[in-house]
């Protein structure tokens, strides 16, 4: 019996050595590296670029958790040695009406985003699927608004808002921010333009009119483009500073971006203005940017899908 077990034992082949197996594995790795060297170099460049662009954000996050001793150390470290929440507590105490500013930002951002998505979807469907006179001329005239900076017409918008009694009101900000829809219309036009026309024909055969075709068939199929427009619009409106500061004089109507910027300097007088450490300022701006960052993370899949469908030529 012992002889049978010994005969069944697997023995390494003649000339087999562990070093030889390691050499084979190493050759396979070298072959894979040589074959995919272009991909490896590209990923290395992208990772390096990501680190370069993320370094200010990482430094801001680190500074927001540092105390004064670490902030003004002779040799500051990238990461906090003794992390603290003192900067965030100071921001929330200094901005006693933080919930009010946050609520104002939510009302203005979501109101403007809703109007932007609705109007741009309707206009994009008209420019992408309907046939009417001067369609292309009107569309390209709207697209030319992309090259006009918002600050260039700031005084005209100020006079118009004052004439319509929309200054110092959240409704005025909502209507103002939902007016610049050149880029959203372009995205929605491309989104609807790339949807096959057979779906509209099928809806027409079922007896649907133009409005029913849009709301029940085309709008759900263009949801990815609408999400892309919503994300772009929300990020631009949430952190907007110049227009809001110009249109709003009452501090109770400030959005979070304006309130945080005004928190950096005390308004008692210019001489004894209190300049806050940049750790506290970093904490304030991180609190402001957090909703936009969370929205992008949650909607990332829809964002990529909207980029692929809404920007396809």
Tell me what pLDDT residue 89 has.
83
**Whole-Å CA distances, 231 to 82, 113, 163, 249, 295:** 36, 8, 31, 28, 8
Say what the pTM is. 0.76
Tell me what pLDDT residue 311 has.
58
Specify whether the backbone of 80 is left (phi greater than 0), alpha (psi in -120 to 50) or beta.
beta
**Whole-Å CA distances, 138 to 88, 123, 146, 187:** 49, 11, 14, 16
Q: Which residues in the chain come in under a pLDDT of 50?
A: 1-2, 5-8, 10, 16, 266-274, 313
Tell me what pLDDT residue 18 has.
56
113 vs 110: CA distance, rounded Å = 5
Tell me what pLDDT residue 117 has.
93
198 vs 246: CA distance, rounded Å = 49
100 vs 120: CA distance, rounded Å = 30
Residue ranges of domains in the chain, CATH in brackets: 18-84 (no CATH), 91-310 (1.10.3720.10)
Tell me what pLDDT residue 24 has.
60
Tell me what pLDDT residue 271 has.
40
Burial class (CB in 10 A: 0-12, 13-18, 19+), 50: exposed
Helix (H, G, I), strand (E, B), or coil: what is residue 305?
Answer: helix
Tell me what pLDDT residue 107 has.
93
């Amino acid at each position: 019996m012992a002889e049978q077990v010994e005969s069944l034992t697997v023995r390494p082949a003649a000339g087999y050595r562990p070093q030889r197996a390691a050499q084979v594995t190493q050759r396979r790795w070298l072959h894979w590296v040589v074959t995919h060297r272009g991909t490896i170099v590209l990923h290395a460049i992208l990772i390096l670029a990501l680190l370069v662009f993320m370094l200010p954000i990482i430094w801001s996050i680190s500074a927001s958790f540092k105390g004064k001793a670490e902030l003004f150390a002779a040799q500051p470290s990238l990461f906090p040695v003794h992390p603290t929440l003192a900067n965030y507590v100071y921001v929330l105490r200094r901005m006693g009406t933080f919930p009010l500013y946050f609520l104002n930002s939510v009302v203005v951002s979501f109101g403007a985003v809703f109007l932007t998505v609705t109007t741009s979807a309707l206009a994009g469907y008209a420019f992408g699927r309907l046939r009417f006179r001067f369609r292309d001329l009107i569309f390209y005239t709207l697209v030319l608004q992309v090259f006009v900076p918002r600050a260039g017409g700031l005084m005209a918008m100020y006079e118009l808002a004052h004439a319509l009694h929309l200054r110092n009101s959240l409704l005025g900000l909502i209507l103002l921010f939902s007016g610049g829809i050149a880029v959203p219309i372009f995205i929605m036009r491309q989104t609807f333009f790339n949807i096959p026309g057979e779906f509209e024909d099928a809806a027409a055969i079922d007896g649907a009119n133009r409005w029913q075709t849009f709301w029940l068939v085309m709008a759900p199929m263009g949801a990815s483009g609408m999400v892309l427009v919503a994300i772009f619009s929300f990020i631009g409106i949430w952190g907007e500073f110049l227009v809001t500061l110009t249109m709003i004089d009452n501090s109770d109507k400030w959005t979070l971006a304006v309130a945080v910027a005004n928190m950096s300097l005390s308004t008692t007088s210019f001489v004894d203005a209190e300049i806050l450490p940049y750790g506290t300022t970093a904490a304030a701006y991180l609190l402001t940017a957090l909703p936009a960052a969370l929205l992008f993370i949650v909607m990332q899949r829809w964002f990529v899908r909207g980029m692929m469908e809404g920007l396809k030529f």
